[in-house]
């Protein structure tokens, strides 16, 4: 999965757990594609402070996902839904059971 897409998805799930300042900087960087310098100028903070905030937010989002596995569960549920739309349901039922039994993600 593309890194930017992954962080955007993680932000959609866990973004409210970041501080308000982290949310603003993260959104400007990932959602509005502003450069670190542009964000620093907009916020009247240093380039390094912006970079540190983004790295800290990324780390927090990854830690949230590693703890709760919510994004992983959503992706598995989408795969399960796709399997249910298939014509060969007997074969797909077995795949579905195997997918849903995957406890290492839970």
> Where would I find the beta strands (DSSP E) of 1-106?
none
pTM of the model: 0.76
pLDDT of residue 87: 63
pLDDT for 45-102, tens place per residue?
Answer: 999 999 999 999 999 999 999 999 999 999 988 888 777 765 666 777 777 788 888 7
Domain residue ranges in the chain: 3-67, 71-105
The CATH number fitting domain 3-67, selected from 3.40.50.300, 1.10.1040.20, 3.40.50.10470, 1.10.10.10? 1.10.10.10
80 CB contacts (<8 Å, ≥6 apart)?
96, 99, 100
Nearest-angstrom CA–CA distance, 99 and 77: 9
């Amino acid at each position: 999965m593309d890194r930017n897409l992954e962080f955007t998805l993680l932000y959609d799930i866990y973004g409210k757990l970041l501080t308000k300042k982290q949310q603003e900087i993260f959104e400007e960087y990932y959602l509005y594609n502003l450069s670190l310098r542009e964000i620093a100028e907009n916020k009247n903070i240093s380039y390094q402070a912006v970079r540190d905030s983004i790295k800290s937010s990324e780390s927090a989002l990854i830690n949230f996902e590693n703890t709760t596995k919510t994004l992983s569960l959503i992706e598995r549920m989408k795969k399960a839904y796709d399997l249910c739309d298939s014509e060969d349901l007997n074969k797909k039922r077995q795949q579905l059971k195997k997918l849903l039994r995957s406890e290492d993600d839970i």
